[in-house]
Amino acid sequence: MAVVTKLTVAALAVAAAVPRPAIADTSERLNILEENDSIYFKSDRHYTQGLRASLLGPDVGNESEWNGPFNLFGDIAPVFGNAAQRSRRYAVFLGQSLFTPSNLQLKPPDSHDRPYGGWLYVGTSLLQESDRHVLENVELDLGVVGPGAFGKQTQNDFHQLIGVKQAQGWSSQIQNEPGGMLSYERLWRFALIGDGNDGVDIVPQAGATLGNVFTYGQAGGMLRIGKNLHADYGPVRVRPALSGTDYFDADQLDGKFGFYVFVGAQGRAVAHNIFLDGNTFRQSPSVRKRVFVGDLETGFSVFWSSAVRLDFAAVRRTKEFFGQQADDLIGTGALTVSW
């Protein structure tokens, strides 16, 4: 546990580095995102809960010392290049994800079903928009998998609160392991109908994640119809998912009201998923994962000026392991406030 404690302290130190000095714009955005298979659907299995709270910092000035990490990544990889128009922002976040089998009353749980597992993490994103149509995101997640993620307490305390039977198999969950992931993704924004800000656009995206929690490559896209599309590149989601980021540029708003409806799809080639493959260096429950997984997503976003925003979506995820009986359905809801 000492290693886990040190890792958590280090991760919190990373998350504390929100750039506040030496920048012109002082506005910040707080997002609370909830993903749950029981929001819109009568389900309680597999990826059953994801909670993520994030803080998006203001635009980093050209002369700010907070450009250092962006420049460092740009020196070692072809990312964060120069652009005629450029916006750089940091986001920090805290999250917890829970995974369970289908039958929560079996003890021990079904060895052919998805194991119990929890993931508690903090992280930071470096976000750069270039020429108002390309967004890059370098993201670092650090945390712990296993009992130290408090998955059992979160699920069973909530079940007790709402009068639902508690899950019986958490004693057989994935074991404690420090977790880390480094992700890079790039999103493009192309107008199809209208002037780009109002009308219809498409947002293709591609990227990869490397770590002992998840390792995968991803590609997909989102079609959006609405007003003030230039403000972002899609709603926030918990990784892995059809990419959405914390990025939002209130300066691009034309008027105080914006909205869009969207539909999108993402495919992933999965090399490693600790919640299916089991622990890296010790014995733990596991099942045989499927290498190719896809998401189909639809929903809408609405925002009033830059002060308040609401996002809702429904996701259909294809089978993630052999023996899984059906695709999973996930509901998402998010509230963002700015000051």
| Structure token pair of residue 196 | 């780009």
Q: What is the pLDDT along the chain (339 residues), one digit of tens a residue?
A: 343 344 344 444 444 444 443 333 457 999 999 999 988 888 899 999 999 999 999 999 888 999 999 999 999 999 998 888 999 999 999 999 999 999 999 999 999 999 999 999 999 999 999 999 999 999 999 999 999 999 999 999 999 988 889 999 999 999 999 999 999 999 999 999 999 999 999 999 999 999 999 999 999 999 999 999 999 999 999 999 998 899 999 888 898 899 999 999 999 999 999 999 999 999 999 999 999 999 999 999 999 877 999 999 999 999 999 999 999 999 999 999 998
- DSSP type of residue 166: P
Q: Is 181 left (phi over 0), alpha (psi -120 to 50) or beta?
A: beta
Domains and CATH numbers, the chain: 2-338 (2.40.128.140)
Name residues whose C-beta falls within 8 Å of residue 153's C-beta, 6 or more positions apart in sequence: none
What's the confidence (pLDDT) of residue 82?
Answer: 86
The CA distances from residue 278 to 54, 217, 274, 281, in Å, are: 28, 20, 5, 9
How wide is the angle at C-alpha 158 spanned by C-alphas 302 and 320, nearest 5°? 70
Partnered with residue 329 across adjacent β-strands are 316
One DSSP character per residue, 174-226 reads PPPEEEEEEEEEEEE-EEEEESSSEEEEEEEEEEEEEESSEEEEEEEEEEEEE
Tell me how crowded residue 232 is: count the other CB atoms within 10 A of its CB: 26
Preceding amide of 108 cis, omega within 30: yes
Q: For residue 243, what pLDDT is reported?
A: 80
* pLDDT on residue 154: 96
d(CA 102, CA 323): 12
Tracing tokens 């914390």 back to the chain, one arrives at: 246
pLDDT of residue 2: 41
Distances (CA, A) of 114 to 27, 48, 270, 276: 42, 11, 16, 7
The stretches of 130-172 forming alpha helices (DSSP H) are: 151-162
pTM of the entire predicted model: 0.90
